[in-house]
Amino acid sequence: MDNEGVAKTTAIAIVIIIIAAAVIGAYVATRPPVKPPAVFKIAVVSDIGGRGDLSFNDMAFKGGDDAERDFGVEMKEIISMVEADYVPNLRTAALDPDVKLIVGVGFLLTHALIEVAKEFPDKNFVGIDTFTKWVDPQPNLLDVVYEEHKGSALVGALGGLLAAYYDKPYIGGVFGIEIPVLWKFEIGYKWGCDWAMGWIENNKPEMKRGIYNTPRDKRVLYDYTGTFSDITKGYLTAVPMYEKGAVAVYNIAGPLGLGINSAVKDIATRDRLKAGPPFWIGVDANQDWINPGFVIASMMKRVDYGVYYATKLVLENKFREAVAEYGNEIVLGIGTTVLGIPMEGISVSTLADLDEFIKMGVKAEELTGEPVLPGPPEWIKEKVAEMRDNQPAWIWGAVAELESKIRTGAVEVPLAVTENAVKEWRAILG
């Protein structure tokens, strides 16, 4: 009994010591300086992809950063770990009186945004890729959607032309989970490849080789891997694609690009290549810097512009006007305008875009002193420029031609978001 008493005392003593240590530690620890309260805050709520999906979540945060820099607003980030987080995350942001604009990133937040927009009618909400317009439109809720099919058509054409030039039979596509947003990418990509074959027939008959001779419905090797996170599956899918003779593989699954990249690197090491082919094609963000010389281009979907423009609309008190004017949805794409101001959101990456993204890497390197970019910035830019110059000018010319035709409406890229439309197009294009 006495022993136990001693033991208890010891235990309590240990506990007290630990508490004391924690409390002292807490006060010793430097408290982060308190920022002066910003009058205007925006909140960005990610979907479960979170930070580092290399795609739209990261791009949305980038848009917030840009808005912080240019408009002096303050951005609050909230990451969703599970889907049940969406409503509470949006509410948490809306409950802050300083937060004037809440951005939900990704179509998965559609219903959650409607729910919370109803609860907070005086706050402004933006959904990236959402379709609240079709479910239950709210006067304070704006969908920002993108013309991914058009951008995908451009890189599809680029891939198809490269395959013809290098006399390769296929192009490839590694997709995430089979959802309608990705159907837009898939059909656009295949359509772009098909358009390129028509272009070759009319303009470059000597390039009637490689992919041109592959049957029309077998030119694009693709698979829905069923994941946006397991990069092993990107690798396992890309390896046989390149082995079968795909000249370029389009990454439509965020981080899975790293798996595709690894497959490309294996081939480059084996064959001692300094630059592609084989190539891969980036998506959403500019991914050309990941492996300079082997990423032919990226289909850029400027989610950052969406956040940036929305902030601007709110600051200028034009947000509700825009919501009403455009029926709760603005489309950012090729040649699109909002309230008379040109606001585009889709493009094939250029060297200027590359610079913008390298700067982010340089900033991180300066901050940490650790290597973030795969090499010195100048080297990356040189290698990318060199790779681009090494492709014949007529390929870039043809892609530019397609872009201007899309811009003027001379051609219409199919927008497949229903199962029937996808079935129809798959019957034609594979």
Where in 12-31 is the site for another protein (CB under 8 A)?
Answer: 14-15, 18-19, 22, 25-26, 28-31
Give 60 or 314: the residue with its C-beta nearer to another protein. Answer: 60
Give 176 or 345: the residue with its C-beta nearer to another protein. Answer: 176
Give 380 or 406: the residue with its C-beta nearer to another protein. Answer: 380
Note whether 355 and 381 are within 8 A (CB): yes
Give 201 or 243: the residue with its C-beta nearer to another protein. Answer: 243
Residue 6 touches another protein, criterion: CB under 8 A? yes
Residues 377-406 that bind another protein (CB under 8 A): none
Name the maximum alpha-carbon separation found in the chain: 99
First to last CA, the chain: 81
* Token duo for residue 108: 């998965």
Give 115 or 344: the residue with its C-beta nearer to another protein. Answer: 115
Q: Can you say how many angstroms the Cα of residue 374 is from the centroid of all Cα atoms in its chain?
A: 20
- Between CA 193 and CA 155 the distance in angstroms is 8
Give 60 or 343: the residue with its C-beta nearer to another protein. Answer: 60
Q: Which is nearest to 126 in space by CA: 335, 347, 322?
A: 322
Note whether 319 and 325 are within 8 A (CB): no
Q: Which residues, other chains included, contact 253 with Cβ-Cβ below 8 Å and sequence gap of 6+? A: 174, 175, 176, 225, 227, 228, 234
User: Residues 103, 290, 338, 346: which binds another protein (CB under 8 A)?
Assistant: 290
Q: Which residues, other chains included, contact 300 with Cβ-Cβ below 8 Å and sequence gap of 6+? A: 151, 284, 285, 286, 346, 347, 348, 349, 353
Residues 129-168 that bind another protein (CB under 8 A): 131, 134
Q: Can you say how many angstroms the Cα of residue 429 is from the centroid of all Cα atoms in its chain?
A: 25
Give 220 or 332: the residue with its C-beta nearer to another protein. Answer: 220
Instruction: Give phi and psi for 177, each to the nearest 5.
Output: -90, 140
**Nearest distance, CB of residue 398 and another protein, angstroms:** 25
Residue 426 touches another protein, criterion: CB under 8 A? yes
Residues 219-248 that bind another protein (CB under 8 A): 221-233, 235-237, 239-241, 243-244
Residue 37 touches another protein, criterion: CB under 8 A? no
Residue 33 touches another protein, criterion: CB under 8 A? no
Instruction: Give phi and psi for 199, each to the nearest 5.
Output: -65, -45
Residues 256-275 that bind another protein (CB under 8 A): 258-259, 261-262, 265-266, 269-270
Residues 91-120 that bind another protein (CB under 8 A): 92-93, 96, 107-108, 111-112, 114-115
Residue 172 touches another protein, criterion: CB under 8 A? yes
- Between CA 310 and CA 364 the distance in angstroms is 26
Residue 84 touches another protein, criterion: CB under 8 A? yes
Stretch that binds another protein, among 8-16, 293-301, 309-317, 384-392 (CB under 8 A): 8-16
Give 284 or 403: the residue with its C-beta nearer to another protein. Answer: 284
C-alpha count within 13 angstroms, C-beta hemisphere, residue 419: 1
**Nearest distance, CB of residue 368 and another protein, angstroms:** 5
- Between CA 151 and CA 139 the distance in angstroms is 30
**Nearest distance, CB of residue 277 and another protein, angstroms:** 17
Contact map string, positions 174 to 193, toward another protein, x by CB under 8 A: ---xxxxx-x----------
Total binding residues for another protein by CB under 8 A? Answer: 109
- Between CA 139 and CA 324 the distance in angstroms is 7
Q: Which is nearest to 312 in space by CA: 20, 72, 50?
A: 72
Residue 53 touches another protein, criterion: CB under 8 A? yes
Stretch that binds another protein, among 170-178, 310-318, 334-342, 382-390 (CB under 8 A): 170-178
Give 315 or 360: the residue with its C-beta nearer to another protein. Answer: 360
- Between CA 377 and CA 355 the distance in angstroms is 9
Give 27 or 205: the residue with its C-beta nearer to another protein. Answer: 27
